[in-house]
Structure 1
């Protein structure tokens, strides 16, 4: 690493963070508000993972091929990846709360629309190809709007936590995703009932999100947009250099970029694991789609439980730094995929999923907190947007690749995952920006 200019860079980071703490008199996050933001993230995770867990059964019941089921989320994922940075920039100007509400509204609309389409397909009112296209388009609305909630929620927490507290706060918020991935797959089989059938889970998830949207409207106070808090830093926001710095050019930042690269590739690996799990379980247990659903839910819930244990228990107990989180998490994800390669029954398959999910539960708060700590106060919004876009970008094509590889040779997607995670371990070990201790010490000294 070129060390020239490093003291000046660190001095600038220190000055920016000091200015932020002097400017922000409201730099605190009441527990009740954090709990509600946690619920917002959890409800969306419940709906999304619940839908993922039930889609293999829906696809086979309607008559869609497995790779089309995997591809059904591709458009929304692409739109999510594109729109997340945009909504982050809008939240810088209009505030975080309106963007949370916008994303929740998109979630409610898309879930209800998808439930109606699935119900019509199951009743043979729509042909499978019509179900596929219509579902794809309605889900795309969630891709455009849903990312507004994810990026603004993270930015809201980052705005109100000191550098010392941010890793634990963002890890706790990431626990909402873990909790959601437990509840969603566990609830989905119970919500397949009556005339709604497999459309039941989407209907109930939409109604629950509607209640949470009302709570956000009434309880969370309207925040002051960063553009008003730091007018000097946003004064030249429309110049070409500023747009590049607050856009995709942030990937080229030598301190922030490596965290985003690690995050994107690790999310791609996790996407292959998540989106192939349902098909692998159905083939391992050799049961009809509806009967295999409880085993899919069991495996997903076990993995999510391990992830939640990692984020809520192990990370606070071990007090791990961002760089330690990505290193240890990457090794666990690699080990879990190795187990999956050799899995021959539901128990070994579930064990592999538990281990790899525990690993990813370390990786996500690791690269999220690392990118946030490497950013200036006026960059928190765009960093949150980019981190949010990783979730969408990672599932644009990787689930389809994973399922196609699985259809060709059962262990091939997990062998690919092992290769990628091995490469990321080398990248994390060699890249000095991920392992340098100066930024953590500087951040601690500012708030102490």
Structure 2
């Protein structure tokens, strides 16, 4: 489950990197890249994806009931703190990712192409630190999931603080490295902890709910972040910094719960 979360997380980080680099060549090139990747996925699915052992049954539940059940899972006491942590982690990352290019362009007087190139390189560096966190710390050192969550919060918080205060592009890029590292720690831990809290019959449901955290974060983050950016260029990072308060509380709850069950 942690590896599935790591793969999801890597795609979320590497996607903006690729888009930023392609946009430096031409602003519409990322759209061509999406079309090409979709074609490759269709071919790979047809050739190599194994058949699912699941046997479909007649649908007896209404769409409304399914939606209510899915949204109600965020109130499930077994999963509530983990899912909220995952949503806020990705909301924080989305806030930074969606506004940083504008900040580079406005604060340093860059052209749109130059700003896209700078953002792409910065996000590529964030992808490297995220990959380091997932491969070295998560997979190789096998750090406990609760420790990973506890490390993710200060990494994100320090990164947001630097972005709020810094006036140099290199320093801002270093801040995004910390944000990528925090995301690399956080989401695999959320996936693995969630899977351990339910029975084997609920694993598929939990995997779907945890995978929805990035989507919810990327819905809320750009919406809130760009709105705040129009008021003040640094306010999105101040919001991320303020989100560290509930995130720190949630991380403390996770660590305390793990210590009590040990």
Note whether the superposition's TM-score is higher than 0.5. Answer: yes
In the alignment, does 2:7 pair up with 1:186?
A: no
1:344 is displaced (CA, Å) by 0.2
> 1:36 corresponds to which residue?
none
Q: Which residue, 374, 390, 403 being the options, matches 2:226?
A: 403
> 2:158 corresponds to which residue?
335
TM-score in terms of structure 1 length? 0.52
Kept in 1: contact 2:161–2:241 (CA 8 A): yes
Q: 1:215 to 1:201 in 2, by over 3 A?
A: same
SS in 1 for 2:219: coil
1:388 is displaced (CA, Å) by 2.4
1:226 is displaced (CA, Å) by 7.3
- Within a 5 Å distance, the mapping from 1:172-183 to structure 2 comes to 174-183=9-18
Output the CA distance in 1 between the equivalents of 2:209 and 2:171: 35
Output the CA distance in 1 between the equivalents of 2:190 and 2:77: 14
Output the CA distance in 1 between the equivalents of 2:121 and 2:165: 20
Output the CA distance in 2 between the equivalents of 1:244 and 1:185: 35
Q: Relative contact order, CA 8 A, sep 6+: which one is greater?
A: 2
Q: Which residue, 205, 222, 225 being the options, matches 2:34?
A: 205
Q: Where do 5+ consecutive residues of structure 1 fail to align?
A: 1-165, 193-197, 229-236, 442-448
- Within a 5 Å distance, the mapping from 1:279-290 to structure 2 comes to 279-290=102-113
- Within a 5 Å distance, the mapping from 1:65-80 to structure 2 comes to none
Kept in 2: contact 1:175–1:312 (CA 8 A): no
Output the CA distance in 1 between the equivalents of 2:15 and 2:90: 17
Number of residue pairs matched by the alignment = 259
Output the CA distance in 2 between the equivalents of 1:284 and 1:224: 54
Q: 1:277 to 1:183 in 2, by over 3 A?
A: same
Q: 1:412 to 1:170 in 2, by over 3 A?
A: closer
| Rg larger in structure | 1
List per-residue Cα deviations over 1:411-448 (Å, max 9, x = no partner). 2221111111122112221357753464xx7xxxxxxx
Output the CA distance in 1 between the equivalents of 2:132 and 2:148: 14
Kept in 2: contact 1:258–1:434 (CA 8 A): no
Q: Which residue, 165, 179, 182 being the options, matches 1:356?
A: 179
> 2:54 corresponds to which residue?
225
- Within a 5 Å distance, the mapping from 1:230-309 to structure 2 comes to 247-309=70-132
List per-residue Cα deviations over 1:100-145 (Å, max 9, x = no partner). xxxxxxxxxxxxxxxxxxxxxxxxxxxxxxxxxxxxxxxxxxxxxx
1:205 is displaced (CA, Å) by 2.6
1:208 is displaced (CA, Å) by 2.9
SS in 1 for 2:50: coil
List per-residue Cα deviations over 1:151-172 (Å, max 9, x = no partner). xxxxxxxxxxxxxxx4356435
In the alignment, does 2:236 pair up with 1:413?
A: yes
- Within a 5 Å distance, the mapping from 1:83-102 to structure 2 comes to none
SS in 2 for 1:254: coil
Q: 1:433 to 1:263 in 2, by over 3 A?
A: farther
Kept in 2: contact 1:254–1:433 (CA 8 A): no
1:378 is displaced (CA, Å) by 2.1
Output the CA distance in 1 between the equivalents of 2:78 and 2:259: 10
Q: 1:407 to 1:222 in 2, by over 3 A?
A: same
Q: 1:252 to 1:215 in 2, by over 3 A?
A: same
Output the CA distance in 2 between the equivalents of 1:185 and 1:437: 45
1:206 is displaced (CA, Å) by 0.5
Output the CA distance in 2 between the equivalents of 1:345 and 1:169: 36
Kept in 2: contact 1:185–1:301 (CA 8 A): no
Kept in 1: contact 2:22–2:29 (CA 8 A): no
Kept in 2: contact 1:182–1:301 (CA 8 A): yes
> 1:52 corresponds to which residue?
none
1:395 is displaced (CA, Å) by 2.9
List per-residue Cα deviations over 1:366-410 (Å, max 9, x = no partner). 112111221222222222222222222223343232122222222
TM-score in terms of structure 2 length? 0.86
Output the CA distance in 2 between the equivalents of 1:374 and 1:366: 13
